[in-house]
Amino acid sequence: MKTYLVTGAAGFIGANYIKYLLRIHEHIRVVILDALTYAGNLGTIAGDIDNERCIFVRGDICDRALVDDLFARYKFDYVVNFAAESHVDRSIENPQLFLLTNILGTQNLLDAARRAWVMGRDETGYPTWRAGVRYHQVSTDEVYGSLGDEGYFTEQTPLCPHSPYSASKTSADLFVMAYRDTYHMPVSITRCSNNYGPYHFPEKLIPLIIKNILEGKHLPVYGNGSNVRDWLYVEDHCKAIDLVVREGKPGEVYNVGGHNEKTNLEIVKLTIATIHRLMESHPEYRQVLKKKEIGPDGEIDISWINDDLITFVKDRLGHDQRYAIDPTKIREELGWYPETTFEVGIVRTIEWYLNHQDWVEEVTSGDYQKYYERMYKDR
Ligand code: NAD
Ligand code: TYD
C-alpha cells in the first residue's frame, strides 16, 4: 500500500486529485496537509475524509516540525505538492506571501523528504534513497513566460516568468531540480496549462464569470480580451499527475495541456451563451438567478443574459499574452491525452456550479466581497 502526502488538497486541483486518486486506486492512503487559506475549503473534501484511507491535517507546508512529524508518523512513499498561493492578481498585490508559501514551503517539503527518505551514501558520496519514493511538484506553464501568435511551450523552452506568482513557481521548480542534481533526489514536475472544472474558486476567470452572470453583474474582461489561455478540464490534469507520479521517469519535467487555446473574450462569450442555452432548455435553473423578473412568457426573464454584460476593464500589469502547451512528451512516454473536450467540459462545469450554489456561497462568505471590491473598483 502506498501512502501519499498531498498538500493543498482543500483547494481546486488538489481536491479533484484526491477524489480521483481515492476512486481509481483501492489500496492507498492519502494524508492531506492544508493550511485552509481563503482558497482552501474543508467542506470540499469533508466527504472524502474517513481517517483510514484519507486523513486531514490542518497546517502550513512551511512548518518544519509539523512536516517532519508527519513523515515520521505516516512513512510517505509519495509527496504531491499542490499547496500554493495561486492567483496572479493577488501576487501583484502582495508578492511576498507567494515567496513564503511557494518557494520556502516547497523547500521545506523537499528537506523533510530528504531527512526521511535518505538511507545512506553511495561510493561517490551521493545520498541513496528509500526505494520507490517520489517528490512531485505541481507546477504551471506560466514558468515559461509568454508566447506570441506562434509556437508552443515544450519542456526545453527556457524559463522566463513575468508575474510574482510565476516567478515564485519557477523558483520552486529550480529548487526541485537542485535537489535532483545535488542529492539525486527522485523528483518529478508537471507544468500544466489553465484548468477549469468543479471547485474552482471564483477569483479565477471562468468561475468568476459564472458567478457574476448568475448575480446579474458586469463581466470584467482585462484589456481587449485577446489574451490566450490553453484550457484543460481539471480531471485530465489529475490523471496526468497520477501517471507521472507512478510511471514518469524520475528527474523529469512533463508539460500537460490539451491544445485548447481560446481568447478570454471567446471564453466569456461561450460561458454567457452556455448559461443562456441551459436556462432555456432547463427553466428550473433560472431559480439560481439573483434577478428574478418575470418575462412576458410567465417564466423568469433571461433575455438580459447576453454579451452586453461584458465590460472591458483596465489590463492586468505584465499580462502574459499567450500560453500554449506542447504535450508530445507525456503523450508519447505515458500515453496521456485529454479525455474531456472543451465543449463537454464547459457544460459539465457550468451545470456543476448551477447545482452547487451552496458551495459558492460557502467559499465566498469570508473576505471575498472585500477582495472583489478592492480588485475591481479602480478597473
Ligand atoms: P488553489 O488556490 O485553489 O488552492 C491552493 C490550496 O493550497 C488551498 O487549499 C490552500 O488552503 C492551500 N495552501 C495555501 N498556502 C498553504 C500553505 N502555506 N500550507 C498549506 N496549504 C496551503 O490552487 P489550485 O488552482 O488548486 O492550484 C494548485 C496547484 O496547481 C498550485 O501549485 C498551482 O500553482 C498549480 N497550477 C494551477 C493551475 C490552475 O489553472 N489553477 C494550473 C497549473 C498549475
Ligand atoms: P486567471 O483565471 O486569473 O488565470 P491566469 O492568470 O493564471 O491565466 O485568468 C485567466 C485569464 O483571464 C487571464 O488572461 C486574465 C483574464 N481575466 C480577466 O480578463 N478578467 C478577470 O476578472 C480575471 C480574473 C481574469
- Give residue 297's pLDDT: 81
Measured CA to CA, the distance from residue 54 to residue 338 in angstroms comes to 27
Q: What percentage of the chain reaches a pLDDT higher than 70? A: 100
Tell which atom from ligand 1 comes closest to the C-alpha of 105.
18
Q: Report whether residue 4 contacts ligand 1, using a CB cutoff of 6 Å.
A: no
d(CA 208, ligand 2 centre) in Å: 9
Quick one: pLDDT band at residue 296, thresholds 50, 70, 90?
confident
On whether the CB atoms of residues 376 and 222 are closer than 8 A, the answer is: no
For atom 3 of ligand 2, the residue with the nearest CA is 204
What cell numbers appear for 66 in the block? Answer: 509539523
Supply the mean pLDDT for the chain.
97
31 bridge partner residues: 5, 55
Average pLDDT over residues 356-379: 94
- Give residue 266's pLDDT: 98
Quick one: pLDDT band at residue 81, thresholds 50, 70, 90?
very high
Measured CA to CA, the distance from residue 323 to residue 153 in angstroms comes to 8
Please report how many Cα atoms fall inside a 13 Å half-sphere around the Cα of residue 187, on the Cβ side. Answer: 28
Long-range contacts: 126-132, Cβ < 8 Å, 24+?
Answer: 126/183, 126/184, 127/183, 127/184, 127/185, 129/184, 129/185, 129/186, 132/2, 132/77
Measured CA to CA, the distance from residue 242 to residue 258 in angstroms comes to 17
pLDDT at 179 over 90: yes
Beta strands in the chain (DSSP E): 2-7, 28-34, 54-58, 78-81, 118-121, 127-129, 134-140, 187-192, 195-196, 219-222, 228-230, 232-233, 252-256, 261-263, 310-313
- Give residue 185's pLDDT: 98
Tell which atom from ligand 1 comes closest to the C-alpha of 165.
34
For atom 6 of ligand 2, the residue with the nearest CA is 88
Measured CA to CA, the distance from residue 60 to residue 104 in angstroms comes to 11
- Give residue 366's pLDDT: 87
- Residue 256 is classified by DSSP as E
- Residue 149 is classified by DSSP as S
Phi-psi region of 184 (alpha: psi -120 to 50; beta: other; left: phi over 0): left
Quick one: pLDDT band at residue 350, thresholds 50, 70, 90?
very high
Active-site residues, by number, are 141-142, 165
Measured CA to CA, the distance from residue 283 to residue 321 in angstroms comes to 38
Average pLDDT over residues 341-346: 97
Average pLDDT over residues 17-46: 98
Among all ligands shown, which has an atom nearest to the Cα of 6? 1
Record the pTM: 0.98
Quick one: pLDDT band at residue 198, thresholds 50, 70, 90?
very high
Convert the pLDDT of each residue in 222-268 to its tens digit: 999 999 999 999 999 999 999 999 999 999 999 999 899 999 999 99
On whether the CB atoms of residues 106 and 330 are closer than 8 A, the answer is: no
pLDDT at 378 over 90: no
| 258 vs 361 pLDDT, higher one | 361
Task: Give the mutation target among 205, 313, 323 for probing the ligand 2 site: most ligand atoms within 8 A of CB.
Answer: 205
pLDDT at 143 over 90: yes
Q: What is the dihedral of CA 63, 134, 243, 180, to 10 degrees?
A: 100
Phi, psi of 132, rounded to the nearest 5 degrees: 80, 5
Q: Report whether residue 204 contacts ligand 2, using a CB cutoff of 6 Å.
A: yes
Note the residue count of the chain.
379
For atom 43 of ligand 1, the residue with the nearest CA is 140
Please report how many Cα atoms fall inside a 13 Å half-sphere around the Cα of residue 150, on the Cβ side. Answer: 0
The stretches of 187-253 forming alpha helices (DSSP H) are 205-214, 234-247
DSSP result, 6-71: EETTTSHHHHHHHHHHHHH-SSEEEEEEE---TT--HHHHGGG--SSSEEEEE--TT-HHHHHHHH
Q: Report whether residue 229 contacts ligand 2, using a CB cutoff of 6 Å.
A: yes
Q: Report whether residue 198 contacts ligand 1, using a CB cutoff of 6 Å.
A: no
On whether the CB atoms of residues 7 and 80 are closer than 8 A, the answer is: yes
- Give residue 243's pLDDT: 98
Cα distances (Å, whole numbers) of residue 235 to 9, 80, 184, 345: 14, 16, 31, 10
Tell which atom from ligand 1 comes closest to the C-alpha of 61.
19
- Give residue 379's pLDDT: 86
d(CA 46, ligand 1 centre) in Å: 18
On whether the CB atoms of residues 72 and 66 are closer than 8 A, the answer is: no
Measured CA to CA, the distance from residue 290 to residue 217 in angstroms comes to 10
Burial of 298 (0-12, 13-18, 19+ CB in 10 A): exposed
Task: Give the mutation target among 222, 226, 261 for probing the ligand 2 site: most ligand atoms within 8 A of CB.
Answer: 222
d(CA 372, ligand 1 centre) in Å: 19
Q: What percentage of the chain reaches a pLDDT higher than 90? A: 98
Q: Report whether residue 11 contacts ligand 1, using a CB cutoff of 6 Å.
A: yes
Q: Report whether residue 17 contacts ligand 1, using a CB cutoff of 6 Å.
A: no
